[in-house]
């Protein structure tokens, strides 16, 4: 049976828009299953023109998993699992403004991230997404064999990422007293639902390979960071008010483009609980 919506692919490697569906309406289990299948198949899916206030946005997210709090920035008043992602007119640094997988420094990084646009600039403010699964598949067999036994150390202290959230901690406060969070994960993780392998290192959080120094790790990590974000593994999404993106944090990385200085951009983010990467 075909899904109760249209699917339009965004690019060759990943991404699809789901059209002709109202997420504010009553969605039966079959429709949720079809949305999940599209998400698993395309890595990131997009919706347009969705009227979901915080309580409805949270209710929709709960159909796919357990919403969790972001450790370093407090959520909305009354909705601690919804993180505000805001850049104001006078600000120059955007939140999460590097290529990354969300909170890879946690022992159990989130399975998925859902983002809805509340206010967008007149131009700019797009988000790029990259398929870490397609990137892995394009590697040589020799490099795959080299990476197979490796594990990587991921830290919340890495400057590439921490500098983009300092202002947010001052503005909203933090949900944890921890100064730094670190976790070690396999460099190649196997997706628990699709079985597809993907690279699981990212510029925002990965500092080194376990058992290696940072200096020894740097050349190979820099190659992998650049490889994952090659244009043929990416897609680009242009936001409008009411747009939603849902991406698979286990196999997809993202990068919010910071090209709208002098304008306001307001988003709400929910992350869904994941498992220990294997």
Q: How far is CA 22 from the centre of its chain?
A: 23
Contact 96, 204 (CB under 8 A): yes
Catalytic residue among 74, 208, 254, 268: 254
Burial label, 131 (beta-carbon count in 10 A; 0-12, 13-18, 19+):
buried
92 annotated active-site: no
Catalytic residue among 42, 74, 102, 268: 102
Can you tell me which residue has the tokens 């206010």?
119
Contact 165, 86 (CB under 8 A): no
269 annotated active-site: yes
Catalytic residue among 42, 118, 250, 269: 269
48 annotated active-site: no
Can you tell me which residue has the tokens 């006078």?
90
Complete DSSP assignment for 112-181: EEEEEEEE--SS---EEEEEHHHHHHTS-HHHHHHHTT-EEEEETT-HHHHTTTHHHHHHH--S---S--
218 annotated active-site: no
3 state SS for 199-252:
ECCCCCCEEEECCCCHHHHHHHHHHHHHHHCCHHHEEEECCCCCCEEEEECCCE
**Distance, CA of 91 to CA of 65 (rounded, Å):** 33
Catalytic residue among 74, 100, 118, 250: 100
Name the residues annotated as catalytic: 100, 102, 254, 269
């Amino acid at each position: 049976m075909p899904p109760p919506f249209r699917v339009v692919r965004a690019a060759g490697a990943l991404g699809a828009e789901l059209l002709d569906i109202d997420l504010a309406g009553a969605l039966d289990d079959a429709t949720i299953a079809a949305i999940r299948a599209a998400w698993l198949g395309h890595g990131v899916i997009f919706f347009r023109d969705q009227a979901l206030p915080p309580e409805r946005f949270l209710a929709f997210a709960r159909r796919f998993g357990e919403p969790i709090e972001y450790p370093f920035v407090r959520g909305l008043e009354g909705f601690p699992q919804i993180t505000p992602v805001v850049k104001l007119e006078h600000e120059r640094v955007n939140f999460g403004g590097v290529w990354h997988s969300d909170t890879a420094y946690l022992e159990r990084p989130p399975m998925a991230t859902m983002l809805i646009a509340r206010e967008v600039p007149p131009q700019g403010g797009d988000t790029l997404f990259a398929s870490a699964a397609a990137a892995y598949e394009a590697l040589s067999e020799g490099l795959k064999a080299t990476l197979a036994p490796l594990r990587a150390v991921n830290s919340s202290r890495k400057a590439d990422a921490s500098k983009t959230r300092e202002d947010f901690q001052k503005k909203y406060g933090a949900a944890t007293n921890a100064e730094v969070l670190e976790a070690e994960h396999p460099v190649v993780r196997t997706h628990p639902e699709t079985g597809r392998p993907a690279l699981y290192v990212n510029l925002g959080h990965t500092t080194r390979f376990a058992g290696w120094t940072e200096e020894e790790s740097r050349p190979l990590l820099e190659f992998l960071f650049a490889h994952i974000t090659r244009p043929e593994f990416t897609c680009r999404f242009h936001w409008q008010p009411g747009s939603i993106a849902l991406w698979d944090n286990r196999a997809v990385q993202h990068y919010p483009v910071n090209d709208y200085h002098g304008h306001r951009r307001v988003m709400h983010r929910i992350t869904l609980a994941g498992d220990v990467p294997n």
